[in-house]
Amino acid sequence: MDETLVNQYGGLLNVPPYLLGIKPVIKANGTTIATGQPIGLGNCLTFNMIFRLPNKGSDFISNTVTAGDYSAIAIQYYRTPAESAGDKLLTLIENTASTDLDDLLGQLLYSIGISYFHHLDFEEELYAKNFQMIISREPSETIVTSYALTEWLFGMPYKVTEGGVGVDTDRYITTSFPFDGNRQRARDFMILSGLGSSAWENMILESFFNIPSVSAAKLLKMANQQDIMIFNIDSSNINMVLPQLQVSSDVIDDIRNSVNAGQKVIISKNAIQYNEWNGVGYIILNPNTGVGAYMISGNFAGGHMSKHPDASIRARSDWSALVTSATRQCIVQLADSLWGTPYVKSGESEECGFDCSGLVYYVFRTCYGNNIVPRLTSAGQHAYLERKKMTLPYSERQPGDILWSNNYHTGIYYGNFNGVDYVIHASGKYCPNPNDPNGWLPSVDLPPECQFEAEINVRICGKYGTVVSTEVSDPYFAIGKGVAPDIGRPVP
């Protein structure tokens, strides 16, 4: 890369592309491991990956990339622990003073990919328990890219600008095994799991950038809300339906090839205009197994921003604000995803459940990667943040802040909707034992691995008994004594 030109024009994408040749580079943990031959900025090249699996041969994945794109490849072998997602974001936060903008951007994009896989793991495990399934995963891969957009004139790239960010999940293979051999339930599980993974392809971008984004699941939902006809296409009706579709020729070809291979396609009649994005979302589904590919226009098996960021994510001056926004969105989105998780006294994990302070601890540990909010009681967390000068008046609340009631029940502030404040909290209480005024009814529901302390081994009563979102004034949050006059806002 001609560094003199880049410095002269004030950045890579500011250089007229016909003046510049750049080399494709692959890095692992910040270290360059491979470099290609120079190619003109804005031109396309092919990036191939091969997954070699024991007893299954090789799986070949090919992507077309633009010279000027910046991509992070996230690979998951089995599960992505909460700590992995949090640690990557913490590394990004700690390195925001770095002058190496390439590494900073790579860390951000990689954090998005790892966080995406973490959310899928959690939801699939939850679905598997409900469906009584055992699930097995093969190595998975997703590419998160900050795109370079090329404008052409007479076959030559004359302008390259920064586009949005997209998630393209090339490989996510899950096999399900029902306890009783019921293949219909396995099929239903795969469809539900696929819809959930598609929805997270837009939600993960929204959680990091607070920019509306698209995925196959979201676009089909929008089409339904707009009363746009949705077709279920197979070999019996393809010749009748294809002429009615108002979508690109590439999508038509994809539908035809998929149906010829015995698949079913679910697609809206025409494209959706959503902010600056125009295209269609569709599902290619195996009707027997429920395994599907969740696609959006452009041959993406993933999600994409619906408009360009207001400020460049590649610009140094925006990093502090971006990381702060990303972390706050991560907190709200993660707390939001935990609705329905059982209330468990002293619980602090998605697998076993939460009590109110355990939920706050888990969410902040996951999004920051450290014990910025220690594992204490609600009152203890409040006192700790007061000592650290990390509390503010309630009037300054923002989504992602910590709220308390005046007797120290706690939760995550969700936001104000139509003039009403909402909070996400783990709500429950012990069931008193009528035969022992000082005791509690024993639990019969918790698995042994979740009974870490004696106080966990009790039944839970109360209106909710789960992680819920309620109005802040709800008596099961305020508990009769009102809301505390301050909020918590932990920062590293």
Query: 10 Å Cβ neighbour count for 223?
Result: 20
Question: CA-CA-CA-CA torsion for 350, 352, 355, 357, nearest 10 degrees?
Answer: -50
Beta bridge partners of 426: 467
Q: What is the pLDDT of residue 444?
A: 45
Q: What is the pLDDT of residue 317?
A: 45
- Tell me the C-alpha distance between 257 and 32, whole Å: 39
At 451, is the secondary structure helix, strand, or coil?
coil
Is 143 within 8 Å of 63 (Cβ atoms)? yes
- Tell me the C-alpha distance between 5 and 192, whole Å: 51
- Tell me the C-alpha distance between 49 and 151, whole Å: 28
For residue 298, give every residue at least 6 positions away whose Cβ sits within 8 Å of its Cβ, in sequence order, or none.
Answer: 279, 304
Picking from 222, 265, 216, 219, the residue whose alpha carbon sits closest to that of residue 241 is 265
- Tell me the C-alpha distance between 230 and 396, whole Å: 45
| Whole-structure pTM value | 0.71
Q: What is the pLDDT of residue 455?
A: 46
Q: What is the pLDDT of residue 97?
A: 58
Structure tokens, 101: 């903008």
All structural domains of the chain, each given as residue ranges with its CATH number in brackets, are 3-320 (no CATH), 339-488 (3.90.1720.10)
- Tell me the C-alpha distance between 378 and 366, whole Å: 18
pLDDT < 70 positions in the chain: 1-3, 13, 79-102, 311, 314-326, 369, 430-462, 480, 492
Q: Which one-letter DSSP state was computed for residue 480? A: T
Picking from 305, 486, 480, the residue whose alpha carbon sits closest to that of residue 402 is 486
Enumerate long-range contacts of 58-67, CB under 8 Å, 24 or more apart. 59/171, 61/141, 61/170, 61/171, 63/143, 63/168, 63/170, 65/24, 65/145, 66/42, 66/147, 66/148, 66/149, 66/150, 67/22, 67/24, 67/39, 67/40, 67/41, 67/42, 67/43, 67/148
